[in-house]
Amino acid sequence: MKKILINRDFILFSIILIGLIGVGFANPLFVTPKSISDVLTDTSILIILALSQMIVILIRAIDLSVASNLALSGMLISLLSTVHPELPVYYFIALSCLIGTFLGVLNGISIAILKVPFIVTTLGTLSIYRGLIYFVSAGKQVYSNAFSEDFLALIHVKFLSLSFLFWLAVAVFIVIYILLNHTRFGRNLYSLGGNPDAAKYIGINENKYIIMAYSLSGFFAGLCGYLWVARYSVASTQIAIGFELTVISACVVGGISVMGGVGTVLGCVLGALLIGLIRNALPAVDISQFWQLAISGAIILLAIIINTKTEQRKEKTIMVEN
């Protein structure tokens, strides 16, 4: 029983529950089924991105370019839609994923083959991809009239009164859960992150895994490119600016260690939910939008500190006290 109580995922879950109850008292409208469904939908993109970022963080790296990747993929398919709105939705989704994956592969190649450190590579591509959005769109926005009905409606389709977008996040959760816990690839990610030298000795090809991890991160960024544009019905150069930091915070709050090799899929999702809850709860309890950034920042720092205190390696016991 004690093991369940100090399990960090359980603690996260409790915090979310307590937070929900707290907000519910201040604003009962917040805890209605519709409202909760909206919060879940709103957090879905963050959940998907956090799960894919987790793959990269597990091998001791970070992908700072996800938001720019998302925005560029979204803009490119939107531009296509202005010319060919009649194309089927799945066509756009597939294209967006493809573009995202390609952008991710570029990251992987830069890090694994050109040996440019991941911080430098993803800081660079963060700017390059964001810049390319201006380039292809000439700074203009693409409005909802450029999209077909299907394009915009898909994510709002309801199943069991929850949106398609939410169920997509659930599907991604299941896929990544299986990937990380029940495939060789996933388990090797944990070992590569936990002890890179030993992993190479065992025959795990570090370069291959780096490229695969960033490709997956790019794939989901591309997917979210479609989702974001469809959700907000607009594509612009300003989409998701700074969002990569929210994604990374979700992972860190969820217990994914930046040192690599540690972290659970459930924790990641809970971390994303907590951050999503905060973002939606603050306006609901009448806190001015201008305080949101500060409060999110503070809570993230707090979570990181608590995280570290519980993670701290205890010294090996040499002497047994009597």
Partner 1 sequence: MVVCLYMKLELKKISKFFPGIKALQNVDFNLKQNSIHALLGENGAGKSTLVKILCGVYQPDEGSIYLDTKKHIISDPTSSLQLGISAIHQESVMFDELSVMENIFIGNHIVKKNRLVDWSAMEKKTKDLLSNLEADIQPNEKIKDLSIAQRHIVQISRSLVHDADIVIMDEPTASLSQKEIEELYSIIRNLKKQNKSIIFISHKLDEVLEICDEFTVLRDGEVINTDLISNTNKDQLITNMAGREISQIFPKKHVTIEQEILNVKNLYKKTQFKNINFNLRKKEILGFYGLVGSGRTEIMKSIFGITKLDEGEILFNDQKISITKPSDAIDQGIVYLSEERQQLGMTGLMSVKDNINMAIMDRNSNFYVMNTLKEIKNASAMQEKLNIKVSYWSQLTQSLSGGNQQKTVIAKWLSTKPKVLILDEPTKGIDVRSKSAVHEFMGELVEEGMSIMMISSELPEILGMCDRVVVMYKGLIRDILDVKKASSEQIVKLASGES
Partner 2 sequence: MSMIPDKPPFKLLDILYKKEFILFVVLIAILIINSNLTPYFLDLYNLIDSTFLFSEKAIIALTMTFVIIARQIDLSVASIIAVSSVVLGYTTSLGYDTWLVISLTLLSGALCGAFNGAIITKFAIPSIIVTIGTMSLFRGLAYSFLEDSYYNKFPKIVSNLGSGYLFGYIPYAFLTFILLALVFAFILHKTTVGKKIFSIGNNPDAAQYTGIAVDKYTFVLFTLNGLFSAIAAIFLSGRLSSVRPNIAFGWELEIITMVVLGGVYIYGGSGSILGVVISIFILGMLSFGLGLLNVPGVGIIIFTGLLLILSIGFPSFVRTLRRKNE
Query: Binding pattern to partner 1, positions 48-67, x when CB under 8 A?
Result: --------------------
- HEC-encoded secondary structure of the chain: CHHHHHCHHHHHHHHHHHHHHHHHHHCHHHHCHHHHHHHHHHHHHHHHHHHHHHHHHHCCCCCCCHHHHHHHHHHHHHHHHHHCCCCCHHHHHHHHHHHHHHHHHHHHHHHHCCCCCHHHHHHHHHHHHHHHHHHHHCCCCECHHHCCHHHHHHHHCEECCEEHHHHHHHHHHHHHHHHHHHCHHHHHHHHHHHCHHHHHHHCCCHHHHHHHHHHHHHHHHHHHHHHHHHHHCCECCCCCCCHHHHHHHHHHHCCCCCCCCCCCHHHHHHHHHHHHHHHHHHHHCCCCHHHHHHHHHHHHHHHHHHHHHHHCCCCCCCCCCC
183 binds, options partner 1, partner 2, none, Cβ within 5 to 8 A by partner type: partner 1
**Residue 296 in the binding site for partner 2 (CB under 8 A):** yes
190 binds, options partner 1, partner 2, none, Cβ within 5 to 8 A by partner type: partner 1
Binding partner 2 by CB under 8 A: which of 132, 192, 212, 278? 132
**Residue 175 in the binding site for partner 1 (CB under 8 A):** no
**Residue 116 in the binding site for partner 2 (CB under 8 A):** yes
Binding partner 2 by CB under 8 A: which of 248, 266, 274, 281? 248
Question: What is d(CA 284, CA 258) in angstroms, rounded to the nearest whole number?
Answer: 32
Binding partner 1 by CB under 8 A: which of 194, 234, 284, 306? 194
Stretch that binds partner 1, among 96-104, 167-175, 179-187, 227-235 (CB under 8 A): 179-187
**Nearer to partner 2 (CB atom), residue 161 or residue 312:** 312
**Residue 209 in the binding site for partner 1 (CB under 8 A):** no
# residues contacting partner 2 (CB under 8 A): 44
Written as one letter, the residue type at 229 is V
- Give the nearest distance from C-beta 298 to partner 2 in angstroms: 6
**Nearer to partner 1 (CB atom), residue 195 or residue 233:** 195
**Nearer to partner 1 (CB atom), residue 286 or residue 321:** 321
Binding region for partner 2 (CB under 8 A): 62, 110, 113-117, 119-121, 123-128, 130-132, 134-135, 139, 245, 248-249, 252, 258-259, 288, 290-298, 300-301, 304-305, 308-309
Binding region for partner 1 (CB under 8 A): 178, 181-184, 187-188, 190-191, 194-195, 198-204, 261-262, 313, 315-321
